[in-house]
Structure 1
């Protein structure tokens, strides 16, 4: 590619080409430009391929950032540099994305992309040592079976999670709804432990309670279609929640296999009323970031 330039192409976005030293980090593809700038990578064309819809609140930008950092690490290895360990890929992807976003971000999307699997992550809150600890919730041998307990729907409109995330932070800092956050923490703990034990009944109760608390704090996490999808899931004795911070994008459901199979038809009927809205295939990635052969 042209010397001094960097081009980025991605499904759902218009391709963009800029001189590396002037690449805009506030561009829709700004995170990718920021990573290219970090590695001082000019004269390249970065092509991003994704099977998920753009801005679907599935952590796609974090996954792309992780993949791009790993790719640059492989390229630098050929020039004699040490390969970045997974923990450093997480930290770098997180630091760059949070800087570009301009709002506090979590580590969960980067951790999922790097390590794969079905895990719960615990923030250590310590100055020394690891920032996080992993608990494997569903073992690798059970991933295929666990996927049959899940349902994922794209609502047909892109998410706007930055605004909702910022509102949650402002509420917490001001002291508003802080009691809800204490209850959310307990819901998450119960959900993780119940799911790890295979106790779906208890897991669903805590999942639906957490969703209800989020809706109280920020009703805009769901549009009218989202509300319908949640309602029919609850009627079918399943758990349902928006992905990410909501405000568009996707919703997912959890339940016993027979109930998820029934819910699939109900969700299909609701999603059929909006262009581009549809069910998405679920495949659990058990390996995380890796070099394709």
Structure 2
């Protein structure tokens, strides 16, 4: 029986500072993000073939098949993530082309605001690295994922998603022109459990085009119209980490709400009347604060509330049209394993 490789990378919730990880702001003024991973994942399953073809199946993007021994695969907008990964291993790294079937799927739809595309490319890199016996440090893998997605393919976005998927858990990312420094929060399990009991996440019913939102944010920054809001968001991320490490969940909720107010100044595409209605319904029901995860415009929203207010908040969000999404915080980053079961 053919041995297969499976890889699983966790999605993330951006808690504070999102947007400050996007260049040119991050390299010019320094970014600071605080995020955590959750038990929703991007999966890759790799099965070796006996020829030199790559066959990819995705539940969202359909099928793609191409030979691997004819030079680099063209990045033309169709399955570019896996093509960039294959080009890296079989062209840049010089591995002898070997055929494989790859099945990819995610627990959330594209445009969810949970870092889906970055998490997917991390899971694919991990699957091929395991199969080809390539050793990579966490930093090397995160840097590679960022390089392929943002610089080779040219997808707009920040730096936090790739690092979250690789490292896992609660982390701060301190970013400057020299790169990214990952600072684990080292939270006690008591604090994690308390935050878990006071967290609510919901799907707005809308997905977003994060690239378009990021493009507007960058344009607004270059015009000098949102640098103050980005500075404030960065400061809030630093304070959020401190409050959470001290177990002050109420203050984290307040900072979450404050962060959302500044985030809406990054771009006029970040919120809309439907998102505002959901936010107001949650706060009216007792949420201390909340925000849209990711670039904005749709996807998932995350709230912190009092323990006794959680049932009312979930009920209010559901009544306003959102879908409540149960989740747990995930302490681990990307992982892979080999199996004889397809």
Q: TM-score, normalised by structure 2?
A: 0.74
Q: Residue 8 of structure 2 corresponds to which residue in structure 1?
A: none
SS in 1 for 2:290: strand
* Cα distance between partner residues in 1 of 2:288 and 2:268: 21
Cα distance change on mapping 1:100 and 1:255 into 2, 3 Å: farther
Residue 16 (1) aligns with residue 64 (2): yes
Q: What does the per-residue CA deviation read over 1:96-152, in whole Å, with 9 as the maximum and x for residues that have no partner?
A: 0112552553221111111111122222544xxx73131316345654443222221
Equivalent pairs counted in the alignment come to: 281
For structure 1, the 5+ residue unaligned runs are 272-276
Q: Residue 87 of structure 1 corresponds to which residue in structure 2?
A: 139
SS in 1 for 2:106: coil
Equivalent residue in structure 2 for 1:255, among 275, 289, 305? 305
Q: CA deviation at 1:71?
A: 1.5
- Judging by fraction of residues, say which structure has more helix: 1
Residue 289 (1) aligns with residue 338 (2): no
Equivalent residue in structure 1 for 2:275, among 226, 230, 246? 226
Farther-moved stretch of structure 1 (94-103 vs 108-117) = 94-103
Q: What does the per-residue CA deviation read over 1:234-274, in whole Å, with 9 as the maximum and x for residues that have no partner?
A: 22242111111012211111222222332111111122xxx
SS in 2 for 1:133: strand
Which structure exhibits the higher relative contact order, with contacts defined as CA atoms closer than 8 Å and separated by 6 or more residues? 2
Farther-moved stretch of structure 1 (187-196 vs 102-111) = 102-111
* Cα distance between partner residues in 2 of 1:254 and 1:11: 32
Residue 244 (1) aligns with residue 294 (2): yes
For structure 2, the 5+ residue unaligned runs are 1-48, 91-96
* Cα distance between partner residues in 2 of 1:240 and 1:53: 21
Matches within 5 A, 1:50-199: 50-77=106-133, 82-102=134-154, 105-123=157-175, 125-126=177-178, 131-136=180-185, 138-140=187-189, 142-199=191-248
- Judging by fraction of residues, say which structure has more strand: 2
* Cα distance between partner residues in 2 of 1:25 and 1:252: 34
Q: Residue 3 of structure 2 corresponds to which residue in structure 1?
A: none
* Cα distance between partner residues in 2 of 1:194 and 1:285: 20
Residue 5 (1) aligns with residue 5 (2): no
Give the conservation status (yes or no) of the 8 Å contact 1:5–1:43.
yes
Q: TM-score, normalised by structure 1?
A: 0.86
> Aligned Cα RMSD in Å?
2.4
Q: What does the per-residue CA deviation read over 1:147-194, in whole Å, with 9 as the maximum and x for residues that have no partner?
A: 222221122222111111111112212212222222222222222211
Give the conservation status (yes or no) of the 8 Å contact 1:117–1:140.
no
SS in 1 for 2:119: helix
Q: Residue 86 of structure 2 corresponds to which residue in structure 1?
A: 36
Q: CA deviation at 1:285?
A: 1.4
